């Protein structure tokens, strides 16, 4: 209409309309919370790059990549569990256990290593199934269920392994490189996981029902959504991804360490999810946001280490940053809910 009549009178209106469209586009970009977190990530990276030239060196970027990859894979699962209104605190101990399962299947049972990997992921999935069943059927809050599961798994891993690290199998092979010893391959795993889970969240019934379950449990089940099955499925997914991250970590450092993973990676995953905009109360969030949240954490950790900040000081800064992110998450969510009224 206006475009097809290129006279002088139409132009100002056209220009104003374009400006408005532009402003609206910018507005909706910032409304996507992961976008504003991306701005933070870029700003942080720019700061550290200026402060310390080593930040942008190839080796350092690989360090960030592997740190990011392991966290981001766990974050992807945690985001799904959190969107449906639950939390999984045991995922880090699944990460510690899975490579041992893999090792036992390979070393003690003498099966091919890839079968060991599959077995590790299956056992991880069973842990998620138990988490889900206890939470959904026995109605124990997932916070408590998975906290108990954390201790149980940690004890199990420590007793069966004698609490000693062992060497990761088949070092120097292409399989080991593919399974995470090569940090680029590890990043590839993370990106693949994030994309697949995000597509599942945005474009499948599973994702729709996950948001529905966390956003309005009663309304979703009234509409016919099997909210129990959705929750259990997401617990299983989260545990399997925790197991995958643990196996990748083991191959990367060529060692299976019973003290790897644990609360540390779980806490980073939950923080990454929250920083990336997943609502603590459930009902909304994105996997891509979680990935960028994990990226922010990776940049912070690496940057501060390069700056030579002590580990204790670092914990202080990181803890404060995460608290602020969580407070913002809750207050922004509240404002968003009231947005239209």
Binding site for other proteins (CB under 8 A): 203-205, 208, 211-212, 214-216, 218-220, 222-225, 279, 283-284, 336-337, 339-341
Residue of 105, 143, 137, 133 lying closest to 121 (CA atoms): 105
- Residue 228 Cβ, how far from other proteins at the closest point, in Å? 15
Closer to other proteins by Cβ: residue 114 or 203? 203
Min. distance of Cβ 2 from other proteins in angstroms? 21
CB of 186 to other proteins, least distance (A): 28
Shortest spacing between CB 208 and other proteins, in angstroms: 6
**Identity of the residue, 160 or 337, whose beta carbon is nearer to other proteins in the bound complex:** 337
Q: Which is nearer to other proteins, 258 or 276 (CB)?
A: 276
Cβ-based nearer residue to other proteins, 145 or 333:
333
Task: Report in angstroms how near the CB of residue 213 gets to other proteins at its nearest.
Answer: 9
Give, in order, the Cα–Cα distances in Å from 293 to each of 36, 151, 239: 11, 27, 20
In the bound state with other proteins, the residue whose beta carbon lies nearer, of 206 and 304, is 206
Minimum CB distance to other proteins smaller for 149 or for 279: 279
Least distance from other proteins to the Cβ atom of residue 320, Å: 29
Q: Please give, one letter per residue, the 3-state secondary structure of the chain.
A: CCCCCCCCCHHHHHHHHHHHHHHHHHHHHHHCHHHHHHHHHHHHHHHHHHHCHHHHCHHHHHHHHHHHHHHHHHHHHHHHHHHCCCCCCCHHHHHHHHHHHHHHHHHCCCCCHHHHHHHHHHHHHHHHHHHHHHHHCCCCCHHHHHHHHHHHHHHHHHHHHCCCCEECCCCCCHHHHHHHHCHHHHHHHHHHHHHHHHHHHHHCHHHHHHHHHHHCHHHHHHCCCCHHHHHHHHHHHHHHHHHHHHHHHHHHHCEECCCCCHHHHHHHHHHHHHHCCCCCCCCCCCHHHHHHHHHHHHHHHHHHHHHCCCHHHHHHHHHHHHHHHHHHHHHHHHHHHCCCC
Closest distance to other proteins from the beta carbon of 129 (Å): 22
Whole-number minimum distance, CB 201 to other proteins, in Å?
A: 11
Measured from the CB atom, the residue of 187 and 211 that comes closer to other proteins is 211
Nearer to other proteins, 174 or 205 (CB): 205
């Amino acid at each position: 209409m206006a475009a097809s009549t290129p006279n002088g009178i139409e132009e100002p209106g056209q220009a104003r309309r374009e400006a408005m469209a532009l402003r609206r586009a910018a507005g909706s970009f910032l409304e996507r919370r992961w976008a504003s977190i991306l701005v933070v990530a870029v700003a942080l990276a720019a700061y550290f790059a200026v402060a310390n030239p080593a930040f942008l060196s190839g080796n350092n970027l690989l360090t960030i990549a592997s740190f990011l990859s392991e966290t981001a894979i766990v974050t992807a699962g945690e985001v799904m569990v959190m969107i449906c209104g639950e939390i999984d605190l045991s995922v880090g101990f699944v990460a510690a256990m899975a490579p041992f399962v893999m090792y036992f299947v390979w070393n003690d049972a003498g099966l091919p290593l890839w079968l060991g990997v599959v077995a590790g992921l299956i056992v991880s999935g069973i842990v998620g199934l138990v988490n889900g069943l206890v939470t959904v059927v026995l109605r124990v809050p997932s916070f408590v269920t998975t906290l108990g599961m954390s201790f149980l798994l940690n004890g199990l891993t420590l007793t069966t392994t004698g609490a000693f690290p062992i060497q990761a199998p088949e070092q120097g092979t292409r399989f080991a490189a593919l399974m995470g010893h090569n940090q680029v391959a590890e990043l590839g795993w993370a990106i693949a996981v994030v994309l697949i889970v995000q597509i599942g969240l945005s474009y499948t019934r599973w994702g729709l029902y996950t948001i529905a379950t966390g956003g309005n449990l009663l309304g979703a089940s009234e509409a016919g959504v099997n909210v129990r099955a959705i929750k259990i499925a997401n617990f299983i997914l989260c545990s399997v991804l925790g197991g995958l991250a643990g196996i990748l970590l083991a191959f990367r450092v060529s060692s299976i360490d019973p003290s790897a993973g644990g609360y540390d990676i779980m806490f980073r995953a939950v923080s990454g999810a929250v920083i990336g905009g997943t609502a603590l109360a459930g009902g909304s969030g994105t996997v891509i946001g979680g990935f960028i949240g994990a990226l922010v954490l990776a940049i912070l950790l690496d940057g501060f280490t390069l700056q030579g900040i002590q580990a204790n000081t670092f914990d202080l800064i990181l803890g404060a940053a995460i608290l602020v992110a969580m407070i913002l998450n809750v207050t922004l969510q509240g404002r968003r809910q009231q947005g239209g009224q």
